[in-house]
Amino acid sequence: MKRVNLLAIFALSFSFSTFVACTSEDFVGSDATLAVTAQDEAQSANLSDIAVATTDEYVNSFDAAGFQAVSEAQKVNGISAIDSGKVVITVDKTGITVFPKKICIDFGTGVIDKRGNTLKGKIYVTISNRMGVIGSTRKLEYYEFFINDNQLKGSKVVTYLGSNRQVTNTVVTETPSWSILVKDTIVRADGTKIIWNSERVRTRISNNATPLLYWDDIYSITGTSNGVNAKGVAYTVEITKPLILKGGWKFFVEGTVLTTSEKHTAVLDYGNGDKDAKATLTVNGVTKDINLRK
């Protein structure tokens, strides 16, 4: 298969990964179980976000090129292929008029993205239309896909909800939003599993003055999730203050999440917007300072 280097077209994958670094020893009894649940939720949410953001980065760039980055001469058995460094993307139909399209993003045996995450395997994306069309969808499915040795199984459906347009002193601001429905299972390297389902809305609140780059955009995320933690305990989650992803920083920089499990609650607070690796976890009135890590 002949490949074309698309590094000039595709920015490296936007990514961000958060995992709470406190342990159950910081709490006792049911509080310890709840602390573990909050950790599992944080990891699941961020692995999901990495998959969505990575897909957006490649597919948005491909869309901006009118799905014409691959010429007819570069087709193999009717399938068009492009190669961005070690990442190979194939699409069954070029052009902006024929849909649905099926795209495969292949990370091979391992690609390190610009945030230091190791991605391997494949993400399959079925798109119903160009993402600037309200109601258009992207369905993500995985084949042997791993993020930092955590395998993702399941699917996500991303739907474009439209954009809120505001004009202030002749400055036009667009804030597009997408709904994201997730049904994921995360299999960790040690074999433990987390089931994670969510219904969230992702809103781009700033393009960081770089409209042709996607990895540094700023997002606000709202919504709910539910699942089963690695110990088999069910839980629910509500974002009580929007989670903020700022300028491609690898951790959430702001927002609060309320986790409920076995009639107990925990609050994870990501702070006041500073780009750091710190957060607090409050369980049963006891607040611990914690560090965030990948």
83, 69 contact by CB (below 8 A): no
Residues 6+ apart with CB under 8 A from 174: 163, 164, 165
Q: Is 1's pLDDT higher than 80?
A: no
* Number of compact structural domains in the chain: 1
Q: Is 85's pLDDT higher than 50?
A: yes
Percent of the chain with pLDDT over 70: 80
The predicted-structure confidence for 2-54, as pLDDT tens digits, reads as follows 343 444 333 333 333 333 444 444 554 467 778 888 888 888 888 898 899 88
Please tell me the predicted confidence (pLDDT) of residue 121.
96
Residue 34 dihedral angles phi and psi, to the nearest 5°: -65, -35
Tell me what the pLDDT averaged over the chain comes to.
81
Q: Residue 239 and residue 251: Cα distance in Å, rounded?
A: 16
Domain assignment of residue 173, yes or no: yes
Q: Residue 185 and residue 133: Cα distance in Å, rounded?
A: 30
Please tell me the predicted confidence (pLDDT) of residue 192.
94
Mean pLDDT over 96-111 rounds to 92
Give the tokens for residue 281.
């976890």
Domain assignment of residue 10, yes or no: no
Domain assignment of residue 51, yes or no: yes
Mean pLDDT over 120-145 rounds to 95
Mean pLDDT over 57-66 rounds to 82
Q: Residue 259 and residue 34: Cα distance in Å, rounded?
A: 8
Mean pLDDT over 190-196 rounds to 95
DSSP string, 146-185: EETTEEEEEEEEEEEEEEEEEEETTEEEEEEEEEEEEEEE
> Which has the higher per-residue pLDDT, 138 or 173?
138
Domain assignment of residue 3, yes or no: no
Domain assignment of residue 8, yes or no: no
The predicted-structure confidence for 220-253, as pLDDT tens digits, reads as follows 999 999 999 999 999 999 999 999 988 667 778 9
* The residue to which tokens 């791993």 are assigned: 146
For residue 129, give the H/E element and its range. none
What is the radius of gyration, based on Cα positions, of the chain?
A: 19
Please tell me the predicted confidence (pLDDT) of residue 248.
67
Give the tokens for residue 19.
């995992």
pTM to 2 decimals?
0.81
User: Which residues form the domain of 38?
Assistant: 19-293
Percent of the chain with pLDDT over 90: 42
Domain assignment of residue 209, yes or no: yes
Q: Residue 60 and residue 94: Cα distance in Å, rounded?
A: 14
Q: Is 198's pLDDT higher than 90?
A: yes
Please tell me the predicted confidence (pLDDT) of residue 113.
78
Please tell me the predicted confidence (pLDDT) of residue 30.
66
Give the bridge partners for 120, in sequence order: 146
243, 215 contact by CB (below 8 A): no
Helix then strand count (H, E) for the chain reads 1, 17
> Is residue 264 very low, low, confident or very high in pLDDT (cuts 50, 70, 90)?
confident
Please tell me the predicted confidence (pLDDT) of residue 8.
36
Q: Residue 160 and residue 148: Cα distance in Å, rounded?
A: 29
Please tell me the predicted confidence (pLDDT) of residue 17.
37
Residues 6+ apart with CB under 8 A from 277: 251, 291, 292, 293
Q: Is 213's pLDDT higher than 80?
A: no
Mean pLDDT over 97-117 rounds to 87
Domain assignment of residue 65, yes or no: yes
Q: Residue 152 and residue 2: Cα distance in Å, rounded?
A: 30
Please tell me the predicted confidence (pLDDT) of residue 98.
92
How many other CB atoms are there within 10 angstroms of residue 207's CB atom? 17
Domain assignment of residue 14, yes or no: no
Mean pLDDT over 175-199 rounds to 95
